[in-house]
């Protein structure tokens, strides 16, 4: 339950809040969004040299390498090919989509550099678990976006706290508050936290994004979506 789950649920939550949102799975080598939004086995239609996004049951059209290759097929491409694939996913027929959520892979490699050079984002959301090693990766991502003059919308703390479904006791296997503290030190807005929750994992694996439902799991994503939309609206 990582950044891809957060990206999918953020897109669904913003759609629930009345926005026209699309989703690009930019994790070229490890696409997972088709599973998360129940579009596995669907192929995008093409018009000219551009694709039409695949509609999802949750009102979020999307494109992923997972729609173009066989399930489980390894994608062994060098950097330029991955960059070209990203270009095709983003330069698609998105119609009246007003917000495009791009789920970037971890790291600071070719896909990220292509994104910054050719499709400069309006803003970036940094996702990290509370533990120190994850925060080191998040710090490197922040440095990359700052070098590319991409505004930072804020930071989300993922897998923040676990409540035992049997005894109700709360524990923090990845620590707690680390991302919030890091955001404070770096003077970034803290957008919210998502718990390490079996229901989120189970529903995500089944292609039922928790953000489309009710309860505290949905509210965690809706709260983050409201914060992101407030930032976007303030910039318009």
Residue 95 has pLDDT above 80, yes or no: yes
Torsion over CA of 217, 220, 222 and 223, rounded to 10 degrees?
160
Q: Facing residues of 64 across strands?
A: 25
CA distance 25 to 114: 14
Tell me the pTM: 0.89
Contacts of 16 (CB under 8 A, 6+ apart): 59, 211, 212, 222, 225
Mean of per-residue pLDDT scores for the chain: 87
Residue 215 has pLDDT above 90, yes or no: no
H/E element holding 57? none
According to the model, what pLDDT value does residue 55 have?
Answer: 97
CA distance 160 to 66: 29
Give residue-wise pLDDT tens across range 105-153.
887 778 888 899 999 999 999 998 776 555 677 888 899 999 999 999 9
CA distance 90 to 145: 18
Question: What's the CA angle centered on 27, arms 135 and 188, to 5 degrees?
Answer: 35
Closest by CA to 192, choosing from 209, 211, 214, is 211
Q: Where are the beta strands (DSSP E) in 108-149?
A: 124-128
Q: Which of 15-24, 47-56, 130-139, 172-181 has the lowest mean pLDDT?
A: 172-181
**Residues 216-222, mean pLDDT to the nearest whole number:** 93
Q: Which domains are seen in the chain, by residue range? A: 3-235 (3.40.50.300)
């Amino acid at each position: 339950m990582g950044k891809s789950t957060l990206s999918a649920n953020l897109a669904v939550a913003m759609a629930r809040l009345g926005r026209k949102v699309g989703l690009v799975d930019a994790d070229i080598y490890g696409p997972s969004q088709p599973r998360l939004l129940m579009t596995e086995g669907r192929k995008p239609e093409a018009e000219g040299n551009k694709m039409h996004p695949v509609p999802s049951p949750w009102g979020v059209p999307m494109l992923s390498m997972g729609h173009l290759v066989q399930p489980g097929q390894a994608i062994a491409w060098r950097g330029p090919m991955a960059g070209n694939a990203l270009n095709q996913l983003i330069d698609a027929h998105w119609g009246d989509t007003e917000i495009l959520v791009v789920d970037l892979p971890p790291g600071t490699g070719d896909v990220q550099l292509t994104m910054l050079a050719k499709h400069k984002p309006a803003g970036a959301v940094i996702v990290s678990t509370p533990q120190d090693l994850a925060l080191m990766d998040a710090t490197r991502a922040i440095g990359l976006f700052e070098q590319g003059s991409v505004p930072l919308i804020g930071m989300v703390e993922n897998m923040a706290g676990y409540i035992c479904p049997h005894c109700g006791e709360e524990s923090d296997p990845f620590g707690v508050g680390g991302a919030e503290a890091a955001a404070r030190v770096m003077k970034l807005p803290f957008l919210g936290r998502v718990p390490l929750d079996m229901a989120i994992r189970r529903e995500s694996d089944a292609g039922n994004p928790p953000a489309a439902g009710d309860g505290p799991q949905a509210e965690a994503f809706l709260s983050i979506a409201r914060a992101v939309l407030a930032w976007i609206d303030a910039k318009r």
